[in-house]
Chain A
Amino acid sequence: MNKELWIARAKELGIDELEIYEMLQSERSLSWYEGEMDSFTTSRVLGTSLRALKSGKQAEMALEQADDAAMDEILGSLLSQAEAVNSSDPAALRAPEKTEEVQGKKHFSRPSVPEIKAVLQELQEKILASDPRIFQVGSVSWQDSSEIRRINNSLGLSVEENSTAQVIMAEAAAKEGEEIKTEYKVEVVESLADFDRDQFVSELSEELLGKLGGRSLPTGRYKVILEKKAMTSLFTVMTPMFSGEGINKGISPLRDKLGQQIFSELVTVIDNPRNTDAFEIANYDDEGCPTRSKEVVSKGVFTTALHSTKSAMAAGTESTGNGFKGSYSAPVTVRPKNCMIVPGEKSLQELQEEMGEGLVITDLAGLHAGINPVTTDFSLQCSGYYVRDGKKDFGVSLVTVAGNFLDLMKEAVAVGSDLKWSYRPVACPSVLFTGAAISGE
């Protein structure tokens, strides 16, 4: 694709501004099952996404074939799409801005195929050998990926960022009597040579075996700790509430709440796409706006809504550099990037001691369906363990936890120190709450 040609032609056809967004993704993955390679996948896809502006109205088109020969047809379509839009909110592209770029800390080394196979075989054997109740390793797999992201536009913006990643995943099943439980684990691995297999296996095995022998609880209100993994998954699905888009439309529960206490004063939330502890950093969002760190919630007070260029214009403010796409073909929306609840001082054990008696929730299921984003009401299947006198007493499964997230977050009484960044753009430590509705027997 000759970008200069496309930009010049767009102007000739009457398009005011044009943005060309490209994402080149390459991936390799290898999975292992019962002592043999199960599957191997390799891919390379260049996706192009075009954004055209005509009189402040915006149209988008995503392409996996962007030949110069089809230029007039594609630009013509964009123009008629933009003319069909009559939204009252104007859109704009970004001019280049100066910024000091941050370099990521993670450096991934590329292993050879025999090295990968050896590690996967070793993992499979070690998982099976770790406990006689573990009867199956569903699969162990390795994946590496690289992404090159380029954004160019008719205002002269030209931005490029690269990222790479390597992960190891395993899933296993354990059985006790008639009861079967499964668990999976994903770990970001910089170098296979330095990857601590024993640690990985013992963590997976401990989490899996902890699920066995779980029983339900009598329905009632309990003190709960949302352990870091469960807290992270629940907080992740609630983060759209911070979106300036939803607030502008009046469908976020935080509409009219800026400057107000929304969470317990123990809770501070920071969104920082440049946090080098996280899985992946971004110096620019997907519109080319330089990113920055900001406190979204300061000691429980909602201080900053997240914004893209468009949502910021509608709200009469500046973009926070949170205009991101879900994939190259998806439109820019407001998304958090490396958003965290700031960790406190106490370990999970200390939180348990403070709770005395109650439920530690380690797993939540049904997150894609069991929440209402308008009200933040939720009702979710969960499992974990029951704590008595500050110590683990028995496993708990097939119960639900339900409530309203904003109400729950006001009841946070201690924030743990155990935050750990994984492959998600959101991370939380474990949090202790005074109470939540648990349904069981």
Chain B
Amino acid sequence: MLSQEKLQEYLSFLMQSAADFAEIFEEFEENETIGTLDGRVEKAERQIVSGIGIRLYRELQSVYGYTNETDEQSVYSLLSDLRDAVGEKKESGDPVPVLLRRVEYENRHPVRIDYRSVPLEDKAELLFRAEGAAKSEDPRITKTTGRMLNVREEVQISNSEGRLISDVRVRTRMFVDAYAKEGEIMMSGGARPGAGKGLEFYEERTPEEIGKEAARQAIVMLQAKDCPSGKMPVVIDNEFGGVIFHEACGHALEATGVARNQSIFAGKKGQRIASPCVSAVDDGTIVNAWGSQNIDDEGNFQKKRVLIRDGILESYMIDRLNGRRMGEPSTGSGRRQSYKYEPTSRMSNTFICAGTDSFESLFEGIERGLYAKKMGGGSVNPQTGEFNFAVQEGYLIENGKISCPVKGAALIGNGAEILMNIDKVSDNLARGQGMCGSMSGSIPTDVGQPAIRVSSITVGGTANE
């Protein structure tokens, strides 16, 4: 990381231009991936991501440059390019040099077992335990794969307002896939939990538990029938089921779209956008959560943001530049994959809050519907609100009861409509981990919710009826 003196020198040089704000983001990330197949180590990879991203604002214009060549000559060459692009200073008079003050704070996300201190063999052993548990679950599990990702990212952010602040982000995640075979049919199941923790995570979420979950899903899907199609009530279960809120609503509440009136929820603050039983938050402060940080990637402290309270839109997720456009302060939501991306407003740990309905009551009165136990990923167009996502493990609901498993289902609809159509929210809130892709790259986020019931969604299936 660059010294405080060097940063002051660079920032002062940048501000000798038409820019009204300058920022330097420095990053040093180490990560490793260990991959296993049927109890053997297939790969052991390490990576170092290291470089700087430099940003200038001139009112609403932004100029961004990044490089991993951080010797003084290369940096000055980049700084000069950026100054040229932003234009010359209009007012005369001597520029005011930038003086930085380091902001200290207490780390909310301590790590007990640093992955770098643990031998590769021991980490591979955790994967073998998961694969072994999956295989011993059922003789039809013919193949298993495991993968562990460990990341340690150090960032230092300084800006022309005099702020200098650092953060260390650590996370780990295990991916287990199990393949079940019966005759010619092969089905897969997967589990992929993670946290903003060191390897102590696998003491709480044991590899055996992860392996069994993958196997269970693969075995269930062997019996799955084709999913019926059409509009029907859908019960979406907790944890990764929250991807529905993430895709259908979360993205449309990001300032990236809202600031330019490119979101269905632009200009709707204080208005009802969801059924009264829905409250939702984006909370980047949850201790050691997968989507948490001490500070965002613009150097502001992460926060808990109430997005929707009892169905009323309360807050958007706002980064610094879009905040300028909207005339509102940042909500600490500026995030990016790495120094290779300019930050923009992003989610952290986003979920629908727990309700009061019992899980069982969600199925009452449904003659024919779909129970989406595990969701896959999805996507949304924030401007139109149209979303789609895949159901990884689904079941038919017949006469108020969960019946047979179904495969190949997708849910499509409009985010604004779906929020209004949630008519029951249960009390079993849980979060699941994912990687969220958007303009500023792929970042870790938690999605979450308790089981919810949506009175009507279009289900796309393959069954001929």
Report which A residues bind B (CB closer than 8 A): 33, 36-47, 58-65, 77, 80-82, 84-89, 113, 136, 138, 173, 180-182, 216, 219, 221, 249-251, 329, 331, 365-366, 368-372, 374-375, 377-381, 397-404, 437-441
Contact = CB atoms under 8 A, between A and B. Distances in A.
B197 to A, nearest CB: 23
22 contacts: A39-B62, A39-B64, A40-B63, A43-B67, A44-B78, A45-B68, A60-B46, A61-B46, A62-B46, A180-B383, A250-B142, A370-B389, A371-B390, A398-B413, A399-B412, A399-B460, A402-B229, A402-B408, A437-B461, A439-B459, A441-B230, A441-B231
Nearest to B142: A250
A85 B376 CA distance: 31
A122 to B, nearest CB: 20
In this complex, the member of A88, A89, A219 whose beta carbon has the largest number of chain B beta carbons within 10 angstroms is A219
Contact of B47 (A62, A180, A371): A62
A274 to B, nearest CB: 30
Given A136-B262, A329-B47, A173 B383 contact: yes
Contact of B462 (A85, A181, A329, A403): A403
A80 B124 CA distance: 13
B91 interface: no
Given A45-B51, A380-B410, A437-B464, 10 more contacts: A38-B62, A43-B340, A87-B37, A88-B40, A365-B379, A366-B410, A369-B388, A379-B409, A400-B410, A402-B461
B116 to A, nearest CB: 11
Contacts of A43: 65-67, 340
A182 B261 CA distance: 13
Contact of B386 (A113, A379, A398): A398
Given A136-B261, A379-B462, A440-B458, A44 B67 contact: yes
Contacts of B117: none
The dominant DSSP class at the A interface is strand
A428 B67 CA distance: 36
Nearest to B51: A64
B69 A369 contact: no
Interface in B177-208: 179, 186-188
B45 interface: yes
Contacts of B260: 33, 138
Nearest to B67: A44
Contact of B410 (A65, A251, A381): A381
Contacts, number: 228
B44 A82 contact: yes
Given A42-B81, A370-B388, A400-B229, A377 B464 contact: no
A369 B379 contact: yes
Given A370-B388, A370-B410, A40 B49 contact: no
A379 B47 contact: no
B67 to A, nearest CB: 5
A81 B42 CA distance: 11
A49 B302 CA distance: 34
B458 A400 contact: yes
A61 B413 CA distance: 43
A398 B82 CA distance: 44
A77 B46 contact: yes
A278 to B, nearest CB: 25
B455 interface: no
Nearest to A211: B384
B50 interface: yes
A65 B408 contact: no
Nearest to B387: A381
B464 A221 contact: yes
A249 B187 contact: no
Contact of B68 (A65, A249, A401): A65
A441 B230 CA distance: 6
A437 B463 CA distance: 8
B72 interface: no
A440 B457 CA distance: 10
Interface in B217-249: 227, 229-231
B383 to A, nearest CB: 5
Given A43-B67, A138-B262, A59 B44 contact: yes
Contact of B61 (A36, A45, A249, A365): A36
Given A84-B121, A251-B143, A42 B262 contact: no
A374 B187 contact: yes
A81 B261 contact: no
A173 B262 CA distance: 9
In this complex, the member of A40, A89, A403, A438 whose beta carbon has the largest number of chain B beta carbons within 10 angstroms is A40
In this complex, the member of B67, B264, B460, B465 whose beta carbon has the largest number of chain A beta carbons within 10 angstroms is B460
A219 B390 CA distance: 18
Contacts of A375: 186-187
Interface in B366-411: 376-379, 381, 383-384, 386-390, 407-410
B85 interface: yes
Contact of B408 (A36, A331, A378, A438): A378
Given A33-B260, A45-B51, A85 B43 contact: yes
A381 B390 CA distance: 10
A46 B461 contact: no
A374 B179 contact: yes
B342 to A, nearest CB: 7
Given A44-B69, A87-B41, A439-B229, A377 B462 contact: yes
In this complex, the member of A87, A136, A250, A378 whose beta carbon has the largest number of chain B beta carbons within 10 angstroms is A87
A52 to B, nearest CB: 10
